[in-house]
Chains A and B, each alone.
Chain A
Amino acid sequence: MMDVAKKRQLSRIKTLLSVIFLLLLLWGSGYRTQVSFQDLFSGIPNIFSALADMLPPDWGYFDYVTGPMLETIRIAILGTTFGGILSIPIILLSSRNVTRSPFLFYPARFILNLIRTIPELLLAALFVPIFGIGPAAGICAITVFSLGIIAKLAYEAVEAIDPGPLEAMTAVGANKIQWVFFGVVPQVAAHFMSYFLYAFEINVRAAVILGYVGAGGIGIILNNMLASFQYNRVITIILYTLIVVAIIEFISNKIREKLL
């Protein structure tokens, strides 16, 4: 048993080592990426001129952009919905208290981790060659992406449920499907809806970006505007996105509060 003084010394050394490690990491990264504060300071006026270019926003452009904005929301709705539906079997297979067999459990978790590792833009970029430029690629990308988000949160919720009702369903003679439906589902249904809405919030923002690689919605226009240096239209689009996301987040939060 170490005495108190020695313990303190040990933890001090640990902290010191961590700090040194951190500093090395930062310095190394800075070196690698050729960070230069000179560049930053000399470049700041450029930012301001770029911002100045952006303002005033092209107000007339709002009308034109509404269509694509709705399209983006559509992509988010459909993608989240399909992702949510597909996530259900994965959730059940990834929950230790539902799936006993390791042959089902480990592969399910593995696939889930794999999905969550890939950034959504990458997914979209992979789907574009298949479905061509347009919303379909975006919907598919969001479906896969949502699956990752919803399934992870949901299986954690499933693993935390009260095992009592599950025991009761075994005692009553329910088969596996009935057991899940009457024992598991009622306990996590509200959580699932909440995670669904959370994923939807994220997806609306993501869908805007996906258009950058051609996956439909407002992102394609954004890309075009950037490429043609029409920055005041760019800011219009960004403002529009801001407002839409704020509204959706507000509604979604209200509903989620009611659920849980």
Chain B
Amino acid sequence: MIEFKGVTKIYPNGTVGLKNINLKINKGEFVVIVGLSGAGKSTLLRSINRLHEITEGEIFIDGESITAARGKKLLQMRRDIGMIFQNFNLVKRSSVLRNVLSGRVGYHSTLRTLLGLWPKEDIRLALEALERVNIRDKAYARADELSGGQQQRVSIARALAQQAKIILADEPVASLDPLTTRQVMDDLKRINEELGITTIVNLHFIDLARQYAQRIIGVRAGEIVFDGPVEAATDAVFAEIYGRPIKEDELLEAQK
């Protein structure tokens, strides 16, 4: 479903972000990407929806090249990919419902969205999405009135409202406490299982990765050094990915 072919990213100052990545991710998989900070996890993830541009290679989504897409086509392809950020990226002063609805802008004409003429169907979708992450009752609250965990759930609802086929999550739990972390990861897992949405998550807590992933991809210095089922990811494998033995701040359980 998502395919990387010979993808390389070299920054203008010469640093290599990604080195000849070849990867295939199938529909409905729950993949977790692990690696040191700066190893290229974020670049890898963000090149899927072209928030980061690559310098060589191509990325295909459902057979269509997103690297070659331009203008309206690019917007449409992005519309079908939902993204969840470490800092939630909600508009703080807007209501929760408005934040979720902003995921639907790719489906309507500019004028409609600007005037707020959302069709009944969209509002229903938005409220259902909020229901699915259990915060429908906060629909009219201002986004900054919510706790971190709640804001992240709104962010997930936004991706659901997009009717996204793929969800990309860039360190979604890095700003949350351990309890809320579990809630959000549970939500992501549940959505993946119930709706079959392909989910790719960047994590830096190793035990968390092990608990939730079906498949683990290890990135080191811009290259994929491990790609396999979670059962095969032993401590030794992780040491290889990180280039050293596991540290305590990479274990969620140790953060108490």
* Bound together: yes
Interface residues, chain A, with chain B CB atoms under 8 Å away: 162, 164-165, 167-175, 177-178, 181-183, 186-187, 189-190
Contacts of B37 in A (CB 8 A): none
Report how far A228 CA is from B35 CA in the complex, Å.
Answer: 84
Q: Are B105 and A165 in contact, CB atoms less than 8 angstroms apart?
A: no
Does B215 sit at the interface, judged by CB under 8 A? no
Asked if A168 meets B105 with Cβ closer than 8 Å, knowing A173-B78, A178-B113, A186-B93, the reply is no
Q: Are A169 and B83 in contact, CB atoms less than 8 angstroms apart?
A: no
Asked if A178 meets B89 with Cβ closer than 8 Å, knowing A172-B162, A173-B76, the reply is no
Contacts of A189 in B (CB 8 A): 93
Q: Are B90 and A171 in contact, CB atoms less than 8 angstroms apart?
A: no
Within 8 A of A (CB), among B97-153: 102-103, 105-106, 110, 113-114
Nearest residue in B to A165 (C-beta to C-beta)? B91
The answer, among B77, B94, B110, for a CB contact under 8 Å with A173, is: B77
Report how far A186 CA is from B142 CA in the complex, Å.
Answer: 12
Q: Are A175 and B75 in contact, CB atoms less than 8 angstroms apart?
A: yes
Q: Are A168 and B93 in contact, CB atoms less than 8 angstroms apart?
A: no
Given contacts A172-B83, A173-B105, A186-B91, 17 further A-B contacts (CB under 8 A): A162-B92, A164-B88, A164-B90, A165-B90, A168-B85, A168-B90, A168-B102, A173-B78, A173-B79, A174-B105, A175-B105, A177-B110, A177-B114, A181-B113, A182-B102, A189-B93, A190-B93
The answer, among A168, A171, A178, for a CB contact under 8 Å with B110, is: A178
Chain A contact residues: helix, strand, loop or mixed: helix
Q: Are A169 and B77 in contact, CB atoms less than 8 angstroms apart?
A: no
Q: Are B103 and A172 in contact, CB atoms less than 8 angstroms apart?
A: yes
Does B180 sit at the interface, judged by CB under 8 A? no
Does B51 sit at the interface, judged by CB under 8 A? yes
Pick 8 A–B contacts, CB within 8 A, sort by A: A164-B88, A171-B78, A171-B82, A172-B105, A173-B77, A173-B78, A177-B110, A186-B93
Q: Are A164 and B105 in contact, CB atoms less than 8 angstroms apart?
A: no
Report how far A125 CA is from B87 CA in the complex, Å.
Answer: 52
Contacts of B81 in A (CB 8 A): 171, 173
- Shortest distance between the CB of A242 and any CB in chain B (Å): 37
Q: Give the size of the chain B interface in residues (CB under 8 angstroms).
A: 31
Contacts of A170 in B (CB 8 A): 51, 78
Does B49 sit at the interface, judged by CB under 8 A? yes
A-B contact count (CB 8 A): 78
Contacts of B85 in A (CB 8 A): 164, 167-168
Contacts of A172 in B (CB 8 A): 78-79, 82-83, 102-103, 105-106, 158, 162
Report how far A162 CA is from B105 CA in the complex, Å.
Answer: 20
Q: Are A167 and B89 in contact, CB atoms less than 8 angstroms apart?
A: yes
Asked if A178 meets B105 with Cβ closer than 8 Å, knowing A167-B85, A172-B79, A173-B76, the reply is yes
Report how far A175 CA is from B94 CA in the complex, Å.
Answer: 19
Report how far A177 CA is from B158 CA in the complex, Å.
Answer: 19
- Shortest distance between the CB of A196 and any CB in chain B (Å): 17
Contacts of A168 in B (CB 8 A): 83, 85, 89-90, 102, 155, 158
- Shortest distance between the CB of A190 and any CB in chain B (Å): 7
Report how far A164 CA is from B89 CA in the complex, Å.
Answer: 5
Report how far A164 CA is from B158 CA in the complex, Å.
Answer: 15
- Shortest distance between the CB of A188 and any CB in chain B (Å): 10
Contacts of B113 in A (CB 8 A): 178, 181-182
Report how far A183 CA is from B105 CA in the complex, Å.
Answer: 12
Asked if A171 meets B94 with Cβ closer than 8 Å, knowing A164-B85, A165-B89, A181-B114, the reply is no
Report how far A177 CA is from B91 CA in the complex, Å.
Answer: 16
Nearest residue in B to A167 (C-beta to C-beta)? B89
Report how far A169 CA is from B49 CA in the complex, Å.
Answer: 12
Nearest residue in A to B113 (C-beta to C-beta)? A178
Q: Are B75 and A183 in contact, CB atoms less than 8 angstroms apart?
A: no
Nearest residue in A to B83 (C-beta to C-beta)? A171
Nearest residue in A to B103 (C-beta to C-beta)? A172
Q: Are A173 and B89 in contact, CB atoms less than 8 angstroms apart?
A: no
Contacts of B162 in A (CB 8 A): 172-173
The answer, among A164, A174, A181, A186, for a CB contact under 8 Å with B106, is: A174
